[in-house]
Structure 1
């Protein structure tokens, strides 16, 4: 319990002390506001610099004396200039004696500014303008003189050897950046994609200058060779950072790869090549091709890093080795060639010719199909509707052809004579009474001349006419008269146009159209206008 009370009392007293210090500093700052100075002044060596000082609002205060005091970063404070209204100006002994003076002659207590000529780097420090007053005592203002020296910046890469198992994976310096003789000290940064670390060191130079040296370190590998690394130097004397771009220089033995083998070397193939690709630092000095068997085939031609086989044969069935050397060592790669039998590959011309022929055959097939369909359509139109330039032809024309009839009394051209359109091979259909399916039969002429137009003359046997066919059934008188009238019309048409009339006949017992369907399907129109059967026997 006592310890806790003691700790609390200690913390309380510490807080009181801090508050006292803050209050004192605030009071001093408020008092010193009457002495006006510049907080910081920068200058380069060999230049002249002015340090201003003034006492404001001196009402009720008596100014008795003003002094300038130099306080270096290291060392004791020194009076460098003093002014008293009664005794005048005085310049005590100091490193600035002879180079410091009041800017006005005679000086004044209200404006005791000074000038330092031929400024040196050692002049850097604090300069205090101090007034002796009554009754306030001494009051002062502090100006920091900062001496600037523009540094000399440089950067360089460091050539190293790639780490291996033998050398160990230890970081080494691969790049270095230096900012020499600068004031104040420069700031150095690195920009790179490689994984490493930077270290920096400072060295004091002449006239309070500083030299900054920064090094970039990493475990070098062959893959890092040639990669970018930049050094950025920032300084107060520069408007922007100065950049130095470098390439990493990492040396390593050759790394070799053979390209060009497509696993399709067959006997008779010509001008196949293998290329030996190598990366190395430094540049390779020699490239050598050889085989595992020790004997290079006769058909092989070597030019630098390219090995060409002019014509593949069984000798090329071997293992080719490429060796590359530089001063750090040797790298090599090999490829085993498997020679194959030649494969028959159809040429482009044969493929094109086959495509053309196939296209032509397809076109011909389509054209033939169209022609067949058109021809069949025309024949059906001629067989069912007849020639549009003539009237519909009758059943006799479809049964016996389009031969011209002589007259109704039977004077016409016979089949064996010179009558127009005679045809002794035409089928003869006879309608029989009975079943509708059995009503139509054909009667074959046994090499007997038949008259197709009507009744025969001179005792020559004539073919039965359409009227005979109609009369062979049980037709009534009205149907016979209608048929006679149609024959008369047919003869009139024959004398007028030369073609037989078309008559569609159907036996009275053909209720289902069997006769008509049979005739339509079986008959085929001819160019002379006649119609013949496809299935009848001709004699």
Structure 2
């Protein structure tokens, strides 16, 4: 009996252990269904005793072909470790995978359909695992189930100017269901000739003209309604340039309102060129006659012919060269004259120095002569004084003879300028007295001059004697 009770207690204990150490979720053989492009949650939680510890959690899957792949591992010390093939595809729902081992497939795909295994390692109890079968369904989205009324917009391309080709209008439609038929018309008028309708496009396959102006209407419809769109075409003015009664010559380029001769002109380019333009108010034309080599434009005629222009240019160039040559010659002559003046100044300075040197030499020679023979110098001075005295005595004698002659003439009788006796005699006492006075003054002046000369000579001699050593 006691043995039976012991066995029952052991079995009860085991049962208690099995009850407390078990999976909380998932249930055995769980089958999950998930949609593609959604997040899938695969639960896995295990309850352990107080003396037990979850060491590692491992998720793996087995595809229908039998291939097994390890997805992610959660270690109690190292944390979660994702396999390289599943990076950014899966993760644990909890930050502590040893407590809650639920796996999340972030973006489920059809390839994720497989059998998944949650394997838990517990110390010291051992390992436990549960499997989950995952089926992935694709989501089919039905777009445009409700009818949407149509919408239309007209888009244009190309240039809307007179003479331009290839312009077109396109009707862009929307709606559900999408409208399939598009009709074109022109408001208050029919479509012009030469216009092509192709599906949703209205094409002007010929050059435009002013008659193409107007309001063009695009109309479309579906089961939900009708839509219209309008576009106003305005043809801009443009010159149509052509050669009257013929076509334009080769090598001539028409660029908008300009006619350009992109090659050298020749005689075949002569003719009357016509520029035609138009708008909604009417049409205008202008003509211009081109004559090659016969007539010059007014601007060219004012300037003269090319030969005259060339002569003017040559003449101006020659005149400019002459002016430059004259200026250079003047500068050279000026420089030459300046050099010559400098040479003359140097020569004059040299001559002046030579004269000063010679005069100094003469002065030194005179001083040497005076120093050598003072007696000869005194004799020369005495002779000079005697000569001056003799000159003074001669002058005094001449003055006396003149006075005696005058007195004789006045005493006896008067004579004319030739020494002949005067026929008419007249007594002139005032004139005689004036002549005598003038003679006296002249004689006194001569005496003063002689005395001054003698005095100056004496002083010079004295100074010379004083300077002698």
Whether TM exceeds 0.5 here: the answer is: no
Structure showing the higher helix proportion among its residues = 2
State the structure with more CA Rg: 2
TM-score by length of 1: 0.27
